[in-house]
């Protein structure tokens, strides 16, 4: 039987599925390693801010760093893992909070470069700045990309502005400057995105937040993806555009990226 954390207590049971029809709520997925969550205070802060914005009382009890560590221990996960914390609205004044832990797939800097298929939306979806449980638009884009042999979809709007993928933030590196779309206007304010914006300068690279288009992508020296589970991942293909070398990516080895397998 699986172990979950529900509303303050560890219990035996299976986690609810996060699907496009799973109701009103938000979630976060934290990378974990050596039996502890990574960047958990940032995850908890973003989740709490989303809950308040969606009408929850500020007293909703999210798991602490210690709670997550105990969950990982109970699940027997001492290596690379991930924890998903889901907040579902039961009624206007009541929310259920559940955390579940699972092992990771392939992670770390040597993971295969991602292959992305461009998927166009009319605009960024409502609540784009929240990791909402209503994931149908993102899930469908990823599913269609995978049916064509790609790993994920690179989402763009009707003006060819880059947004994000279904599970990661996007970074475009040209001439030593690393750029990423604006959050929450065009993408989720990812926890790993936030950490990279604070720390990439230590590699000698500059960071810029702003509009990015397909023209910027075509001209890029390197494309990266980031989220809290994979850390940073190289992109090797976007539709028929190919990248086969990522010399600046190697600079990340010295950053101590707080993600599983790094």
Q: Say yes or no: 12 and 122 in one domain.
A: no
CATH code at position 172: 3.20.10.10
The residue behind tokens 């604070």 is 198
Which one, of 127, 125, 152, 132, lies nearest residue 230 by Cα?
Answer: 152
Radius of gyration of the chain (CA): 18
Same domain, 181 and 245: yes
Residue 73 sits in the same domain as residue 99: yes
Instruction: Let me know if residue 261 belongs to a domain.
Output: no
Tell whether 147 and 199 lie within a shared domain: yes
- Domain co-membership, 234 together with 118: yes
> Within a domain: residue 109?
no
Is 199 inside a domain boundary?
A: yes
What sign results for the dihedral spanned by CA atoms 38, 40, 46, 47?
positive
Domain membership of residue 250 as a residue range: 114-255
Which of 103, 137, 160 corresponds to the end of one domain?
103
Whether 154 and 187 share a structural domain: yes
Do 133 and 207 belong to one domain? yes
Read off the CATH number of the domain in which 33 is found.
3.30.470.10
From 82, 103, 124, the end of a domain falls on 103
| Domain identity same for 207 and 83 | no
What total number of domains does the chain contain? 2
Give residues with Cβ within 8 angstroms of 36, minimum separation 6: 65, 68, 69, 72
- Single residue among 53, 80, 103 that ends a domain in this structure: 103
Looking at the fold, whether 21 and 75 belong to one and the same domain comes out as: yes
pTM exceeding the 0.85 threshold for the entire prediction:
yes
Domain-embedded: residue 108? no
> Does residue 262 lie within any of the structural domains?
no
Query: Along the 262 residues of the chain, how does pLDDT read in single tens digits?
Result: 589 999 898 988 777 644 333 457 899 999 999 999 999 999 999 999 999 888 887 778 899 999 999 999 999 999 999 999 999 988 766 889 999 999 998 999 999 999 999 999 998 877 778 899 888 899 999 999 999 999 999 999 999 999 999 999 999 999 999 999 999 989 999 999 999 999 999 999 999 999 999 999 999 999 999 999 999 999 999 999 999 999 999 999 999 999 999 9
Please check whether residues 124 and 237 belong to one and the same domain: yes
Same domain, 65 and 194: no
Q: pLDDT for 63-79, tens place per residue?
A: 999 999 999 999 999 99
Q: 128: phi > 0 → left, psi -120 to 50 → alpha, else beta; which?
A: alpha
38 & 130 share domain = no
């Amino acid at each position: 039987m699986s172990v979950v954390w529900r509303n303050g207590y560890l219990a035996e049971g299976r986690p609810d599925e996060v699907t496009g029809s799973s109701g009103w709520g938000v979630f976060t997925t934290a990378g974990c390693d050596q039996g502890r969550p990574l960047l958990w205070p940032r995850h908890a802060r973003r989740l709490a801010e989303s809950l308040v914005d969606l009408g929850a009382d500020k007293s909703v009890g999210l798991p602490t760093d210690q709670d997550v560590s105990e969950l990982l221990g109970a699940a027997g996960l001492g290596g690379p893992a991930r924890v998903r914390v889901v907040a579902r609205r039961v009624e206007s004044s009541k929310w259920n909070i559940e955390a579940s832990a699972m092992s990771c797939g392939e992670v770390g800097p040597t993971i295969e470069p991602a292959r992305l298929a461009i998927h166009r939306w009319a605009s960024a979806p409502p609540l784009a700045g929240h990791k909402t449980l209503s994931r149908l638009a993102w899930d469908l884009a990823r599913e269609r990309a995978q049916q064509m042999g790609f790993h994920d979809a690179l989402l763009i709007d009707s003006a060819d502005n880059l947004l994000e993928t279904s599970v990661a933030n996007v970074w475009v590196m040209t001439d030593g400057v690393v750029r990423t779309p604006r959050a929450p206007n065009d993408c989720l304010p990812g926890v790993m995105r936030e950490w990279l914006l604070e720390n990439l300068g230590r590699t000698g690279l500059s960071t810029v937040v702003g509009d990015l288009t397909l023209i910027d992508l075509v001209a890029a020296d390197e494309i990266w993806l980031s989220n809290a589970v994979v850390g940073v991942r190289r992109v090797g293909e976007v539709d028929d555009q190919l990248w086969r070398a990522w010399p600046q990516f190697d600079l990340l080895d010295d950053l101590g990226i707080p993600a599983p397998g790094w």
